[in-house]
């Protein structure tokens, strides 16, 4: 069947050749419409020998300024179909021609780099794109692909350098992405080298003042050093940075307020927060937890019971059942079993960009490879239907 697919580019090519010959016929003396090599190539194709067919086409279609685009288009078709080695051969053939202009050569080199990226030979791709950066007018693609390579290799210092070069060209604002790279470096640095971590966080915030991840790292540094008041200052700032990430800060806030013996202050802050963001289930559950710690289980149950009427959520229901006495030895364990399964199966984090969801907060989306798009989500009862569908992870 493979040769059938091969006919696609062949059809495009033959159409082009036919048109070319049509014009030739009109202006030149009558000659055979096709080069005999064309039929040889076709024969190879019909015998399912696409590689020999490529050789014929490469020979047949001499490289000049008019045919460069045809070569590039044909190679592109191969790459799109995953036949990277064939794309590479066509691109290498192009590059070897001395007749190409600098711009055409750069274009072919960039395309060859993309072939290498597709084939997973990142070191070759890197080498090629770096060579392109040294050319008189390096294509923008070279910068972007190098950034992708360094991201894949998790070479954060080089990724930062490349992102800054792209940023300097004024085509893209990569501040939030550069900030994530500094966070990656900070997370890799031992928590004992506090000053290094804080220095990296400073760079992260200089590139994106609203980087929640950097704030969380910074707060953790202070918590580990028992500087809870200082940690609080940073954690309370997250609501202004991006309130969607507040659920991530709640366990840290609880720890700080507990250590400072100020649970009552946390309680009033949570009440106020829920007035500003009434749908924040995680804050409601945290408040129930604080109420339980301050006034006992019954008060926490009363609070959640009343809250769930207006703001139904699976996590809320689950907490309410866990708080309750097993007064009904048959019903309560049964419902608890269901809510436990639902909470466990629910994905806590989703990427609104590509729909990826999971249980862990990835700052770099595994689905669409964007930075900082994945967000904490709360499971409301309305989402029950999706949860009841078979889980596929
Ligand atoms: Zn995504």
- Which of the two residues, 191 and 80, has the higher pLDDT score? 80
The position carrying tokens 């929640």 is: 212
- Which of the two residues, 349 and 137, has the higher pLDDT score? 349
CA–CA separation, 212 and 179 (whole Å): 10
Cβ burial of 7 (10 Å; 0-12, 13-18, 19+) is middle
Bridge-based pairing state of the strands 375-376 and 349-350: antiparallel
| 174 Cα to the center of ligand 1, angstroms | 17
Residue 149 structure tokens: 């390579």
Instruction: Lay out the sheet containing 375-376: strands in order across.
Output: 357-358, 349-350, 375-376
| 350 Cα to the center of ligand 1, angstroms | 8
What are the helix and strand counts (H, E) for the chain?
A: 21, 3
pLDDT of residue 230: 97
CA–CA separation, 288 and 292 (whole Å): 6
8 A C-beta contact, residue 207 and residue 186: no
8 A C-beta contact, residue 166 and residue 143: yes
| 212 Cα to the center of ligand 1, angstroms | 18
The yes-or-no verdict on residue 25 having pLDDT over 50 is no
| 351 Cα to the center of ligand 1, angstroms | 5
| 139 Cα to the center of ligand 1, angstroms | 27
- Which of the two residues, 319 and 370, has the higher pLDDT score? 370
| 347 Cα to the center of ligand 1, angstroms | 14
Cβ burial of 55 (10 Å; 0-12, 13-18, 19+) is middle
Least confident of 127-141, 205-219, 330-344: 330-344
The position carrying tokens 């999706």 is: 386
pLDDT of residue 283: 94
pLDDT tier at 325 (50, 70, 90 boundaries)? low
pLDDT of residue 310: 85
> What is the separation of C-alpha 167 from the centre of its chain, rounded to a whole number of angstroms?
19
What digits encode the pLDDT tens for the residues 35-58?
666 666 666 666 666 677 777 776
Q: How far is CA 6 from CA 10, 76, 86, 167, in A?
A: 7, 13, 11, 41
| 365 Cα to the center of ligand 1, angstroms | 5
The β-bridge partners of 376 are: 349
pLDDT tier at 130 (50, 70, 90 boundaries)? very high
Q: Rounded to 5 degrees, what angle do the CA atoms 276, 282, 283 make?
A: 40
| 120 Cα to the center of ligand 1, angstroms | 22
CA–CA separation, 336 and 125 (whole Å): 54
Residue extents of the structural domains in the chain: 2-154, 346-388
Helix axis angle for 122-133 and 140-152, nearest 10°, is 150
8 A C-beta contact, residue 122 and residue 153: yes
pLDDT of residue 105: 86
| 116 Cα to the center of ligand 1, angstroms | 24
pLDDT of residue 85: 87
Superfamily of domain 2-154: Tetratricopeptide repeat domain (1.25.40.10)
End-to-end, the C-alpha distance of the chain in Å comes to 33
The yes-or-no verdict on residue 285 having pLDDT over 80 is yes
What digits encode the pLDDT tens for the residues 201-217?
999 999 999 999 999 99
pLDDT of residue 23: 47
| 357 Cα to the center of ligand 1, angstroms | 8
pLDDT of residue 93: 84
The yes-or-no verdict on residue 89 having pLDDT over 90 is no
What digits encode the pLDDT tens for the residues 146-170?
999 999 999 999 999 999 999 999 8
| 392 Cα to the center of ligand 1, angstroms | 17
pLDDT of residue 32: 46
What digits encode the pLDDT tens for the residues 233-284?
999 999 999 999 999 999 999 999 999 999 999 999 999 999 999 889 899 9
Per-residue DSSP letters for 342-379? HHHHS-SEE-TTT--EESS--SB-TTT--BS--EE---
């Amino acid at each position: 069947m493979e040769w059938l697919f091969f006919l696609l580019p062949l059809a495009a090519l033959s159409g082009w050749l036919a048109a070319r010959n049509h014009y030739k016929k009109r202006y030149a003396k009558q000659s055979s419409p096709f080069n005999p090599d064309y039929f040889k190539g076709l024969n190879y194709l019909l015998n399912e020998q696409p590689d020999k067919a490529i050789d014929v086409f490469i020979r047949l279609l001499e490289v000049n300024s008019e045919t460069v685009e045809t070569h590039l288009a044909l190679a592109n078709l191969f790459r799109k179909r995953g036949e990277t080695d064939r794309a590479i051969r066509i691109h290498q053939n192009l590059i070897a021609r001395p007749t190409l202009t600098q711009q055409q050569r750069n274009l072919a080199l960039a395309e060859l780099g993309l072939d290498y990226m597709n084939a997973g030979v990142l070191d070759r791709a890197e080498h090629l794109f770096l060579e392109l950066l040294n050319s008189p007018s390096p294509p923008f693609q070279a910068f972007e692909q190098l950034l992708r390579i360094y991201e894949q290799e998790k070479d954060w210092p080089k990724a930062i350098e490349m992102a800054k070069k792209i940023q300097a060209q004024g085509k893209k604002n990569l501040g939030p992405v550069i900030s994530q790279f500094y966070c990656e470096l900070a997370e890799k640095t031992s928590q004992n080298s506090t000053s290094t971590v804080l220095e990296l966080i400073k760079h992260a915030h200089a590139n994106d003042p609203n980087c929640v991840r950097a704030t969380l790292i910074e707060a953790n540094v202070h918590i580990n050093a028992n500087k809870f008041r200082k940690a609080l200052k940073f954690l309370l700032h997250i609501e202004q940075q991006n309130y969607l990430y507040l659920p991530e800060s709640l366990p840290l806030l609880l720890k700080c307020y507990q250590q400072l013996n100020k649970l009552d202050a946390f309680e009033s802050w949570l009440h106020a927060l829920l007035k500003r963001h009434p749908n924040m289930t995680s804050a409601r559950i945290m408040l129930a937890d604080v109420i339980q710690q301050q006034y006992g289980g019954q008060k926490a149950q009363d609070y959640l019971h009343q809250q769930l009427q207006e703001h139904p959520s699976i996590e809320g229901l689950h907490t309410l059942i866990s708080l309750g006495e097993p007064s009904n030895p048959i019903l309560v364990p049964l419902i608890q079993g269901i809510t436990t399964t639902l909470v466990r199966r629910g994905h806590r984090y989703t990427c609104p960009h590509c729909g990826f969801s999971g249980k862990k907060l990835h700052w770099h989306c595994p689905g669409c490879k964007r930075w900082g798009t994945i967000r904490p989500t709360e499971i409301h009862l309305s989402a029950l239907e999706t949860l009841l569908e078979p889980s596929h992870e």
